[in-house]
């Protein structure tokens, strides 16, 4: 395929396989035509990932749902590759299978129920307004730096009880760890992991001396009270929440606002009736979701899936953004329509690992979008800013910077 680093891939040649465009520099600019061809040509595609791992990519909705609820596909890679693959960054629910998964998720689940999250509405609104007070009177702003990034970080930092002043460090560490699968910067990623671990270790010591009513204090007390979780798992769960809080909701707000600003009719609809915001957020998640291929599993045994022979240890990656544009599931899948009914998109995954933070992310998204529209009725993408640059990478889908005119 003809791809350049800033332009989308052109897939003109019909005899070239679409999957060849997957890991090229231009792919992130517009992955959807590539996915559409893959869903047609090879919906369960056999391929070699950039790190040399052999596996499969699933691009259709129905197959995606089936993989995500099939317990032959597992998360805990130590069962296949041995304990050498265990690290503090994988000692959590996202990288565990039952029964560990249930135990680890159960420890923090109470902190993220829709009811509890809803009780944070007023406070999150204050944070959003405070961030926008700082840009009031200006003619332009940077959506990511001024708003979409700090909002979820402040919220998750408060829930965990970690100092908000350290957000710049968390940003560097989590960007680095998330980018790890496609960067050439191995040693630096390792150093960032070490720094992050050392930071958490010092923080946990402090919390042990003076516990509060935050989530980290609760985890530490649970560990001290019995055998519910190990010290390594506290690191794993807290690091996961910090990373999830940094790398996803920011892109829900960013990608979502881009979709809205690029579709002025939809923008007008929401401006005229802010109560459409819940549906708008669901459509933003479906149309340009923040998670690219991070939803992966390992074939836990030799198995057959829809006529394909998979070997134990094969990587199985579910392309959620592709599933969410599947015309078999969604009418007019490439249409951005904030009034779409009953959209059962997969942006938060499916099955037992379905996103724990979904109620929080939805609430933050709603508040963020409606507050921006309310306070800046003339909001638009800055015309002189040039083409938006989508971050390359395997895990999250988002834009580095979104310059707005107010
Ligand atoms: C899991 C997406 C925000 C915490 C997941 C998964 C997806 C996802 C797709 C499943 C991964 C898999 O099956 O392999 C998103 C999106 C978000 C978001 C699109 C924002 C729009 C958050 C936030 C938090 C969070 C704000 C934390 C407060 C988690 C956790 C898991 C998870 C802990 C693992 C759950 C488990 O394994 O049982 N997320 N997430 N997420 N997410 Fe989110």
The answer to whether 263 and 231 have CB atoms below 8 angstroms apart is: no
> Is the beta carbon of 124 within 6 A of some atom in ligand 1?
no
**Residue 368: is the preceding peptide bond cis (ω within 30°)?**
no
d(CA 172, CA 205) in angstroms, rounded, equals 23
Quick: pLDDT tens for 36-88: 999 999 999 999 887 788 899 999 999 999 999 999 999 999 999 888 777 88
Beta strands per DSSP E along 123-173: 140-142
Total residue count of the chain as it appears in this document: 406
Task: Return the beta strands (E) in 195-349 as ranges.
Answer: 296-299, 303-305, 308-310, 315-318
Q: 229: CA distance to ligand 1 center in Å?
A: 20
Which ligand 1 atom is the nearest neighbour of the CA of 241?
27
**Residues 157, 162: Cα–Cα separation, whole Å:** 5
Q: Which atom of ligand 1 is nearest to the CA of 245?
A: 26
Best CA proximity match to 45, nearest among 260, 305, 269: 305
CA-to-CA distance for 26 and 6, rounded, in angstroms?
Answer: 6
144, HSE (Cβ side, Cα atoms, 13 Å):
19
The confidence score (pLDDT) of residue 250 equals 93
3-class DSSP state of 259: helix
Instruction: Characterize the bridge pairing of strands 54-58 and 315-318.
Output: parallel
| CB of 402 sitting under 6 A from ligand 1 | no
- Predicted local distance difference test score (pLDDT) of residue 181: 43
Nearest-CA residue for ligand 1 atom 17 is: 248
Q: What is the pLDDT, as a whole number, of residue 293?
A: 58
Interatomic CA distance for residues 353 and 97, integer angstroms: 9
Q: CATH top-level class for 87-288+350-405?
A: mainly alpha
Distances (CA, A) of 319 to 18, 56, 66, 106, 216: 14, 10, 13, 27, 32
The two three-digit tokens of residue 388, written as one number: 């938006």
- pLDDT tens for each residue of 271-297: 999 999 999 999 999 999 987 656 899
Task: List CB contacts of 296: < 8 A, sequence separation 6 or more.
Answer: 55, 315, 316, 317, 318
Does 360 sit in the ligand 1 pocket, CB within 6 Å? yes
- Note the pTM of the prediction, 2 decimals: 0.93
Give kind and range of the element (H or E) at residue 399. none
Q: For ligand 1, is residue 356 a contact (CB within 6 Å)?
A: yes
Which residues in the chain come in under a pLDDT of 50?
1, 5-8, 12, 180-183
Supply angle C-alpha 355, 358, 362, rounded to 5. 155
Ligand 1 centre from 60 Cα, in Å? 21
Question: CB-based burial of residue 254 (10 Å sphere; 0-12 exposed, 13-18 middle, 19+ buried)?
Answer: buried
Residue nearest to atom 30 of ligand 1 (CA): 356
The preferred substitution site among 149, 174, 356 for testing ligand 1, maximizing ligand atoms within 8 Å of CB, is: 356
Residue 88's contacts (CB-CB under 8 Å, 6 or more residues apart) are 197, 232, 235, 236, 239
Q: How far is CA 76 from CA 34, 103, 315, in A?
A: 30, 14, 12
Q: Does residue 249 have its Cβ closer than 6 Å to ligand 1?
A: yes
What are the tens digits of pLDDT across the range 96-106? 999 999 999 99
108 C-alpha vs ligand 1 centroid, how far in Å?
13
Q: CB of 37 within 8 A of CB of 263?
A: no
Ligand 1 centroid, distance to 293 Cα (angstroms): 13
* 359 Cβ closer than 6 Å to some ligand 1 atom: no
Long-range contact set of residues 68-73: C-beta below 8 Å, sequence gap at least 24 = 68/295, 68/297, 68/318, 68/346, 68/349, 68/350, 68/351, 68/353, 69/350, 69/351, 70/305, 71/97, 71/98, 71/300, 72/299, 72/300, 72/301, 72/303, 73/297, 73/298, 73/299, 73/300, 73/316
Q: Which of 92, 250, 355, 395 to mutate to test the pocket of ligand 1 (most atoms within 8 A of CB)?
A: 355
CB 224 within 8 A of CB 337: no
Residue listed under structure tokens 């307004």: 129
Whether 346 is in the pocket of ligand 1, judged by its Cβ within 6 Å, is no
* CB of 348 sitting under 6 A from ligand 1: yes
**Alpha carbon of 347 to ligand 1 centroid (Å):** 9
Name which residue sits closest to atom 18 of ligand 1, judged by CA.
248
What pLDDT shows up at residue 298? 95
Tokens standing for 178?
A: 């998330």
């Amino acid at each position: 395929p003809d791809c350049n680093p800033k332009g989308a891939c052109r897939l003109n040649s019909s005899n070239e396989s679409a999957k060849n465009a997957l890991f090229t520099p231009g792919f992130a600019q517009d992955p959807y035509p590539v996915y559409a061809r893959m869903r047609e040509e090879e919906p369960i595609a056999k391929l070699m990932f950039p790190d040399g791992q052999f596996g499969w990519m699933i691009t259709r909705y129905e197959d995606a749902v089936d993989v995500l609820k099939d317990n032959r596909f597992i998360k805990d890679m130590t069962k296949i590759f041995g304990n050498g693959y265990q690290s503090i960054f994988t000692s959590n629910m996202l990288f565990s299978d039952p029964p560990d998964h249930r135990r680890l998720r159960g420890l923090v689940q109470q902190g993220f129920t829709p009811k509890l999250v809803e009780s944070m509405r007023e406070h999150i609104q204050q944070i959003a307004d405070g961030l926008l007070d700082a840009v009031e009177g200006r003619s332009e702003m940077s959506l990511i730096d001024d708003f979409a990034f700090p909002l979820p970080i402040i919220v998750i930092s408060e829930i965990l009880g970690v100092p908000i002043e350290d957000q710049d460090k968390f940003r560097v560490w989590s960007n680095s760890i998330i980018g790890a699968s496609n960067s050439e910067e191995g040693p630096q990623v390792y150093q960032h992991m070490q720094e992050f671990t050392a930071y958490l270790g010092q923080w946990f010591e402090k919390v042990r001396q003076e516990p509060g009513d935050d989530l980290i204090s609760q985890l530490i007390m649970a560990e001290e009270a019995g055998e519910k979780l190990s010290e390594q798992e506290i690191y794993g769960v807290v690091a996961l929440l910090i990373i999830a809080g940094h790398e996803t909701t920011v892109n829900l707000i960013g990608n979502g606002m881009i979709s809205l600003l690029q579709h002025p009719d939809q923008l007008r609809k929401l401006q005229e009736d802010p109560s459409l915001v819940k549906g708008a957020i669901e459509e933003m998640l479906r149309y340009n979701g923040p998670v690219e291929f991070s939803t992966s599993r390992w074939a836990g045994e030799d198995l057959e899936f829809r006529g394909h022979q998979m070997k134990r240890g094969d990587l199985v990656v579910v392309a959620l953004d592709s599933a969410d544009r599947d015309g078999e599931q969604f009418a007019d899948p490439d249409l951005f329509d904030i009034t779409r009914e009953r959209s059962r998109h997969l942006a938060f995954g499916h099955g037992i690992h379905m996103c724990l933070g979904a109620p929080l992310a939805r609430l933050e998204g709603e508040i963020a979008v409606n507050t921006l529209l309310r306070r800046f009725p003339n909001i638009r993408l800055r015309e002189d800013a040039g083409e938006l640059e989508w971050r390359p990478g395997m895990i999250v889908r988002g834009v580095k910077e979104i310059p707005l005119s107010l």
